[in-house]
Amino acid sequence: MSRKPAHQQIDTLKTLRSVSFELFGRHGYDGVSIGDIASAAGLSKGALYWHFPGKDALYLDCLKRLHELFDSYVFGPMRQESDPVAGILLVFRGVESLTRDPRVEKGIAGYWLVSSNSMSGEIFEAQRAFEQSSRSTIEDTLRRAVDKSRFDLQGDLEAMSRAMIFLIEAAMLPLRNMSADEMRDLLGVLARTLFRAYAPGMMLPPI
């Protein structure tokens, strides 16, 4: 196979990554084949293998892009925020902003589907590292809020950090069936419930 001009290779790779991200997000690892991806991207399997050695490498690329989205909207801003209460609020605001990103508008629930044993250890390790980093960010933010007497978690810091991870994941599952405005309203209710329970009397700005 002759090598395409550089600009065509870039365009092909961009299309391939975009299509793959959407398909895995809708159907999960097991629900998508190399043939499905090649067909949706308008490529031959040979052209696909020119860019990626196989399905695992392509899925790992998509998974890392998903992690980058969460870091961009949620966890990165949380790490940079010096006020821990504002940092906690960024969980809800960040997720709300993420739901409006066109890259996730067709759903990304597929990345939470339990996969077959054929998935590589490298994929599992990448996901585990991201989960540990995300939870650590939330735990640190909550701990700083407790230390400054801004939040009273009544000994539930670890449980609350897990609950907030659960909340973030749960918010991603119905994206295809819920509008961004509906998601904003739901996240607002959850944020107000959290603050009323653990920071009573604190004025909460709108999400």
DSSP codes of every residue in 43-79: --HHHHHHH-SSHHHHHHHHHHHHHHHHIIIIIHHHH
pLDDT of amino acid 90 = 95
Find the radius of gyration of the CA atoms of the chain: 20
- Compute the distance between CA of residue 17 and CA of residue 23 in angstroms, rounded to an integer: 10
The answer to whether residue 181 is domain-embedded is yes
The answer to whether residue 46 is domain-embedded is no
pLDDT of amino acid 119 = 78
Domain count, the chain: 1
Indicate the helix (H) or strand (E) that contains 1: none
The answer to whether residue 14 is domain-embedded is no
pLDDT of amino acid 8 = 54
Task: Tell me the whole-structure pTM to 2 decimals.
Answer: 0.89
Q: Per-block average pLDDT, block size 10, for the chain (207 residues)? A: 50 90 95 94 89 93 97 97 95 94 91 80 93 96 95 91 92 81 90 90 74
The answer to whether residue 44 is domain-embedded is no
- Compute the distance between CA of residue 105 and CA of residue 102 in angstroms, rounded to an integer: 5
CATH number at residue 92: 1.10.357
